[in-house]
Amino acid sequence: MSAYLELTKPRITVFILMSAAIGFLCGAHAGSHWNLWTVLHAMIGTALIASGTATLNQWYERSADAKMRRTQARPIPSGRVTPARALCFGIALAAIGFFELSLGANRLTGMLGLFTMVSYLCVYTPLKRVSPVSTTIGAIPGAMPPLIGYAAAAGTLTAEAWVLYAILFLWQFPHFYAIAWMYREDYERAGIQMLPVVEPDGESTARRIWLFSLALIPISILPRFFGAEGNLYAIGATALGIVFLWAGVRASFERTRPRARQVLLASVVYLPLLYGLLVLDHRGF
């Protein structure tokens, strides 16, 4: 059971649920009919479809995972779960998650979940072996959780929902470029065309890290102008963005693994703290 649980990538699923919950919170005041059951169905359905997608992704990438040191111990390449069983497990989780979102929340929520899964597995995943543009394509489904949560609560998507999407969309670039830089030898060994593999000097990777971090600052402040957040959020979001940007700037001057790790840690701290500010200063209720 621990091997099957590992296939679902629980830590990543927690981040996904965090983003979906924030979307639900912000969409709740725009929706006319929602209750505790809607929240439960939305969170359970999101967790299931995210877990199924993670499992199917590992099934698809099992040969590449076997070549990379950081992924060799995953359930499929290590032999703890057979590819056939992982495939069935992933399909079952994803299917149940889709119906949970569609029937438990609403049709729009289910379709957003389905789009996330299909675009991630059928576009982003195979593109990783072809071009570094896969990072940009992957950020599209990667930023969907707030929209899923918002749609579950409101039954529609407003400009505020798309701002939440934009925040998560931009956040992913420094986060994943830092990971790609740290494990570029692994990615090269597996034939995955990440930007640091295609451009080994890291100049373009470092530049994009701080540029996306810079763009994140004004976008993250936008919820204040929708009247849903107060000055506390705006000040806190700005401060967090500056710290995140500083980590990216340092990485651009020193293109080393320790600096990339600092960007990764900054990204992991940034998102929960920003979400905490959204909850703390939210005026939707």
Confidence band for 285, pLDDT divided at 50, 70 and 90: very low
Retrieve residue 15's tokens: 């981040």
CA–CA dist 62, 60 (Å, integer): 6
Sequence-distant (6+) residues with CB within 8 A of 79 are: none
Q: What is the mean pLDDT of the chain?
A: 92
- pLDDT digits 0-9 by tens, 122-149: 999 999 999 999 999 999 999 999 999 9
Tokens 């929240």, located at residue: 39
CA–CA dist 153, 32 (Å, integer): 8
In total, the chain counts a number of residues equal to 285
Calculate helix-pair angle for 10-28, 145-154, nearest 10 degrees. Answer: 40
CA–CA dist 244, 191 (Å, integer): 30
pTM over 0.75: yes
Other beta carbons within 10 Å of 76: 24
Confidence band for 30, pLDDT divided at 50, 70 and 90: low
Q: Which residue ranges form the domains of the chain, and what is each CATH number?
A: 1-157 (1.10.357.140), 159-279 (1.20.120)
- pLDDT digits 0-9 by tens, 33-55: 667 889 999 999 999 999 999 99
User: Given a cut of 70, is residue 260 above it in pLDDT?
Assistant: yes
Burial class, 73, CB count within 10 angstroms (exposed 0-12 / middle 13-18 / buried 19+) = exposed
- pLDDT digits 0-9 by tens, 177-224: 999 999 999 899 888 999 889 888 888 999 999 999 999 999 999 988
pLDDT of residue 282: 74
CA–CA dist 125, 134 (Å, integer): 8
pLDDT of residue 252: 87
Other beta carbons within 10 Å of 242: 12
* Adjacent-strand bridge partners of 229: 282
Helices and strands in the chain, H and E counts = 15, 0
What is the phi/psi pair of residue 144, to 5°?
-75, -25
CA–CA dist 111, 90 (Å, integer): 18
